[in-house]
Amino acid sequence: MKIAIIADIHDNLVNLEKCLRYCSGQKVETLLCCGDVTNFDTLEYISENFPGQIYLVQGNMEIYEEKDVLKFSNINFLGRVGRIVLDKKSIGLCHEPFLKNSALKLGACDFIFYGHTHKPWIEENEGYKFINPGTLGGVFQRATFALWDTDNAEPELKVLDLIKG
């Protein structure tokens, strides 16, 4: 299963469009969003332009309300912290790094994805892998996201401006 992990879009539709186009070409089936989509229009754009299932946690800059998310059948809103199982992999999701342990309280996780810092990061601590895909919005850092083929062990970082097309 191919999964894209994004965070900190901050309404940058140009970068979002390029990322989703790349995901389409790679046949990505699921999108994990670690928060800071920011407004309803961007949320709507994601829902309309990504055909698979989307799992979303709330960031600290959102200006949409939870009831707005419920309008989209392909978006699964997990609140501030969530835990899901995809392709027999247990995945924790949150936005802010200080919530990583809250994800673990929901159950053991193979990976915990988070955002907020805008810096891509992989850390292994006490047997858990914590991964930040960086900022798709390109705020303070180059625009990045992660792509994970669950048949392979590790997600890989993608730098948006290095992707052709």
Six-digit token string for 16? 């979002």
Six-digit token string for 25? 């070409």
User: What is the overall mean pLDDT for the chain?
Assistant: 95
State the residue range of the domain holding 87.
2-162
Count Cα neighbours of 56 within 13 Å in the Cβ-side half-sphere: 30
Cα–Cα separations (whole angstroms), residue 93 to 84, 143, 162: 8, 20, 26
Judged against a pLDDT cut of 70, whether residue 147 lies above it is answered with: yes
Question: Using one digit for the tens of pLDDT, what is the confidence trace for 33-56?
Answer: 999 999 999 999 999 999 999 999
What pLDDT was estimated at residue 165? 65
Question: Using one digit for the tens of pLDDT, what is the confidence trace for 105-122?
Answer: 998 899 999 999 999 999
Domain count within the chain: 1
Residue 141 banded pLDDT, cuts 50, 70, 90: very high
Domain of residue 118, CATH code: 3.60.21.10
- The stretch 85-95 carries a mean pLDDT of 96
